[in-house]
Amino acid sequence: MWRRLLRRIDWALIIAVMVILVLGMLMIAGSTAESWSTILDSPFVRRQGAYVLAGFGLMVAAMLVDYRYLRSISRLLYAVSLGVLVAVLMVGVEAGGATRWLSVGPMGFQPAEVARLLVVITLANQISAEGSERKTDYSWSDFLWSAVHVMVPAALVVVQPDLGTALVFGAVLIGQLYIAGFSPLRLLFVAVAGVGTVAAVLAAHVRYGLDIPLLQPYMVNRLIAFVDPTADPTGAGYHLQQSVIAIGSGRLTGNGLFRGAGAQLHFLPEQHTDFIFSVLGEQLGMVGVTVLLLAFVLAFLRMLAIAAGASDQFGAVLVGGVVAILFFRVVVNIGMTMGVMPITGLPLPFVSYGGTAVVADLVSVGLVLNVGMRRKKIVF
């Protein structure tokens, strides 16, 4: 049995993820070290290496236990997701004006990163049929209960405040309902209505001073900078302008690793986390950007193939949720560094520095491989 399962491991997906991780480690080194000889002197490189190794170990563990067992503990997982989010509000560590961390001894982690993966599992259980059957007759009532299921933890994340991560929960809801078979037209209506409502409320806040609880001044400034980056070039628009300059300076082949004013002279803010894609464009140019994007495309195509060949609806919807989490963050992060989307603070999956995020993402990949290993037939 185990030999058959091991033969069904999707090595193309693993290779794609490893290519992205290697590029991520190179960019963390290129943004926090000065040369090859000083790489190990960077605490960010050492820590990220440890996080990646831990993530691979947990990814293997996530592959071994039959994913269908998760259905039996779905309520427990949902309770855990809410519990850690409530805990961070009560005893969390504040940093940068937000309370997003929990300390466990000498280590800390971000509960939101864990909670969104658990919600993917529990929502997949809620909207999927049992066994090999497939539910297709979804109603607005099903959508309402699914929305409540997702928006409760999302609201707890907004309170931290962390609007960017909260938006990921919305992507999970839309993505998983689509994979499950909910009407695409209905989902499009919901998405347009949601974006329109948010835009109208923000416009009312800026123009008429409408008071919006939990809306921080920096959030409004980021939106203003997105609309007009030149309005405040040394303030709210600084991040975006430096990011665009760094990416453009790389041209075709880049300035080379450890080279480039944006990263080496620290013109780029948050260069090893939120704006690490800008470092990639500056140091490796269009060639490096193309390799990264092709690796992401390959990873997403393999995940979708696994979802299509899943042995049950639960597995397909579970994989769909993982794709939604990763794809949304990739689009938003790359978009914000290039000025085509507002700055949200979402890191680039597998590339940006961050222990909880990279471990949670690798566990997600492990669950996807788990579904692929237990499919009915081999999917090419």
pLDDT (tens digit per residue) in 100-140: 777 766 667 788 889 999 999 999 999 988 776 777 778 88
Q: What pLDDT is recorded for position 216?
A: 62
The burial of 378, by beta-carbon neighbours within 10 Å (0-12 exposed, 13-18 middle, 19 or more buried), is given as: exposed
**Would you state the pLDDT for residue 99?**
65
Q: Give the strands of the sheet with 93-95, arranged side by side.
A: 93-95, 98-104, 107-109
Residue 194 falls inside a structural domain? yes
Is 378 domain-assigned? Answer: no
Asked if residue 379 belongs to a domain, the reply is no
- pLDDT at position 378 is 46
Beta strands in the chain (DSSP E): 93-95, 98-104, 107-109
**What are the tens digits of pLDDT across the range 144-202?**
999 999 999 999 988 887 888 888 999 999 999 999 989 888 888 888 888 788 777 76
Residue 236 belongs to some domain of the structure: yes
Within-domain flag for 380: no
Q: Determine how many CB atoms are found less than 10 A away from the CB of residue 34.
A: 13
The pLDDT score that the predictor gives to residue 206 is: 65
Query: What pLDDT was estimated at residue 380?
Result: 41
Measured distance CA(26)–CA(29) in Å, rounded: 5
Please give the structure tokens belonging to residue 219.
């959030």
Check residue 226 and give its pLDDT: 63
The domain of 63 spans: 2-373
Domain count along the chain: 1
- Please give the Cα distance from 138 to 181 (Å, whole number): 8
pTM for this model (two decimals): 0.90
Q: Is residue 162 part of a domain?
A: yes
**Average pLDDT per consecutive 10 residues, the chain (380 residues; last block may be shorter):** 73 96 94 85 92 95 92 94 89 67 71 92 91 78 92 89 85 93 89 80 68 62 62 67 87 87 75 90 94 97 94 93 96 89 85 92 96 70
